[in-house]
Amino acid sequence: MPCDTSIIEAPRLGEPYLLTPGPLTTSYEVKEAMLRDWGSWDDDFRAMTRKMRDQLLALLGDGRADYDCVPIQGSGSYCVEAMLGSFVPADGKVLVMANGAYGLRAARTMEYLGREFHLVNKGDYMPPRGDEVAEILAQDSAITHVLIIHCETSSGILNPVEELADAAHAAGCKVLIDSMSAFGAVPLDVSRVKYAAMVSSANKCIEGVPGFGFVIARKDELAAAEGNSHSLSLDVHAQWVTMEETGQWRFTPPTHVVAAFLKALEGHTAEGAVAGRGARYTRNRDVMVAGMRKLGFETLLAERWLSPIIVTFFCPADPNFEFTQFYELMKSKGFIIYPGKLTVVDSFRVGCVGQMDEHTMRRVVEAARETLDEMNVASAAPPQAALDERKILAA
Ligand SMILES: *Cc1c(COP(=O)(O)O)cnc(C)c1O
């Protein structure tokens, strides 16, 4: 089904659009789905959990019969911790390929778990590459798993997952993926990348509200994970076994969030699933980036690394530009943007995900233009230091 190009309704009740990677702007129907209470033990809710798991698995592509889906209460980081704690045995060792905040958070999680890891920190945005993975794995035979961040949301870079996974598999290692901000909009076919497990959450590209995440893992890995977890509530194996046996979550499920998520999945299917959603987000990004560049803004990343999820722009060099004021003025026009996470130069981010389309993105650019005028910023061009920084990436 082609991507629906009709204008998406503006959020009601005068809410601003969230140009953030999640929580993001959800549809009215998704919010409305939460106006009913569900008993966690009741058959109706058990059927909802079953349906949700099946629908998520249906997004995997050929080879999905080898996989199962286990939802976990909490935000996305709970799922990352659940995945690392459940699939990496106590004597395992993880190679963490980090190029931003989420890779570093995964390494921090390994510290808490007290399990061995090797951190490769590429800095704010440089992509990790397959040959680096191959080299490290050749030198360190203790490494059992490689953790890959799919879209590193802190810069918006789309990391080369297939290349990294191929290098890991060639060395006999298992692959774990944080696909939090990419799953549902960027293809990750299990016939191509045979990962042991991956995680995502309700409030990212499926466009649900926050409250749980989900682990998608090979069934043989789920079965083998018994006894690995450091944590009762984050034990993916135990949650899986209970769900298979009783259809229930082990502890209080976020019932309203699950109801909203099922509504969000309906919207995802109607839009043409991963391909349709990815096409709308890509169009959002292209329209927004082209418009911002016309105003003089420059992206941190070159074209080939830009994800359709979120884009980092350098703050303008003009002395009249001040991010907090830019943020407030954009908000007053109905758009909540996101501060940047670069350590070297000032930046901000604009998300392309959620209930918005290219018409919304044109209004975002228009709001940015008006805001620059109001701030008396003559040029949105970044400082030389930012452009020097970017050359490192191009080299
Ligand atoms: C959102 C996100 C997470 C999880 O963050 P929470 O704040 O715990 O939801 C993890 N990894 C990536 C890449 C993300 O984008």
Percent of the chain at pLDDT exceeding 70: 96
Q: At residue 8, does pLDDT exceed 70?
A: no
Q: Using CA positions, which residue lies closest to atom 3 of ligand 1? A: 76
Strands 335-336 and 17-18: parallel
Best residue for ligand 1 mutational test, from 96, 161, 180 (most atoms within 8 Å of Cβ): 180
In angstroms, what is the span from residue 199 Cα to ligand 1's centroid?
Answer: 10
Asked if omega into 23 is within 30° of 0 (cis), the reply is yes
Q: At residue 192, does pLDDT exceed 50?
A: yes
Q: What is the pLDDT of residues 239-279, one digit of tens each?
A: 999 999 999 999 999 999 999 999 999 999 999 999 999 99
Q: What is the pLDDT of residues 68-91, one digit of tens each?
A: 999 999 999 999 999 999 999 999
Q: At residue 38, does pLDDT exceed 50?
A: yes
In angstroms, what is the span from residue 153 Cα to ligand 1's centroid?
Answer: 8
Distance CA 97, CA 366 (A): 38
Confidence class of residue 388 from pLDDT cuts 50, 70 and 90?
confident
Q: What are phi and psi of 348, to 5 degrees?
A: -145, 165
Distance CA 25, CA 87 (A): 33
Distance CA 349, CA 330 (A): 13
Across 192-203, average pLDDT: 97
Percent of the chain at pLDDT exceeding 90: 91
Q: Using CA positions, which residue lies closest to atom 9 of ligand 1? A: 76
The CB of 164 under 6 Å from ligand 1? The reply is no
Q: What does the pLDDT read at residue 392?
A: 77
In angstroms, what is the span from residue 213 Cα to ligand 1's centroid?
Answer: 10
168-to-97, 131, 165, 178, 320 alpha-carbon distances in Å: 11, 10, 5, 15, 48
Amino acid (one-letter) located at 275: A
Across 148-159, average pLDDT: 97
- Ligand 1 atom at shortest distance from the alpha carbon of 22: 1
Q: What does the pLDDT read at residue 343?
A: 80
Beta-bridge partner residues of 336: 18
Across 138-163, average pLDDT: 97
Task: Please report, to the nearest 10 degrees, the dihedral formed by the alpha carbons of residues 337, 339, 341, 346 taken in order.
Answer: 120
Residue 213: CB partners within 8 Å, gap ≥ 6? 71, 72, 74, 75, 76, 78, 79, 180, 199, 200, 201, 202
The CB of 180 under 6 Å from ligand 1? The reply is yes
- Ligand 1 atom at shortest distance from the alpha carbon of 201: 9
Distance CA 382, CA 45 (A): 52
Q: What does the pLDDT read at residue 389?
A: 82
Across 214-236, average pLDDT: 98
The CB of 81 under 6 Å from ligand 1? The reply is no
Amino acid (one-letter) located at 46: R
Q: Using CA positions, which residue lies closest to atom 6 of ligand 1? A: 76
Q: What does the pLDDT read at residue 4?
A: 45
Quickly count: other Cβ atoms within 10 Å of residue 112's Cβ. Answer: 12
Q: At residue 163, does pLDDT exceed 90?
A: yes
Q: What does the pLDDT read at residue 207?
A: 98
Q: What does the pLDDT read at residue 341?
A: 86
Structure tokens at 146: 């490689």
160-to-133, 247, 302 alpha-carbon distances in Å: 12, 36, 14
Structure tokens at 162: 């297939």
Burial class for 224, CB neighbours closer than 10 Å (0-12, 13-18, 19+): middle
Q: What is the largest CA-CA distance in the chain?
A: 64
Find out whether 349 and 33 touch, Cβ atoms under 8 Å. Answer: no
The CB of 181 under 6 Å from ligand 1? The reply is yes
Q: What does the pLDDT read at residue 9?
A: 62
Best residue for ligand 1 mutational test, from 181, 186, 205, 214 (most atoms within 8 Å of Cβ): 181
What's the whole-number average pLDDT of the chain?
Answer: 95
Distance CA 177, CA 210 (A): 20
Best residue for ligand 1 mutational test, from 77, 155, 203 (most atoms within 8 Å of Cβ): 77
Q: What does the pLDDT read at residue 5?
A: 44
Q: What does the pLDDT read at residue 1?
A: 38
Confidence class of residue 2 from pLDDT cuts 50, 70 and 90?
very low
In angstroms, what is the span from residue 6 Cα to ligand 1's centroid?
Answer: 30
The CB of 200 under 6 Å from ligand 1? The reply is no
Residue 19: CB partners within 8 Å, gap ≥ 6? 335, 336, 337, 338, 350, 351, 352, 354, 356, 364
Find out whether 33 and 246 touch, Cβ atoms under 8 Å. Answer: no
The CB of 178 under 6 Å from ligand 1? The reply is yes
- Ligand 1 atom at shortest distance from the alpha carbon of 80: 10
Give this prediction's pTM.
0.96
Most confident residue range from 49-58, 333-342, 386-395:
49-58
In angstroms, what is the span from residue 78 Cα to ligand 1's centroid?
Answer: 9
Across 365-369, average pLDDT: 98
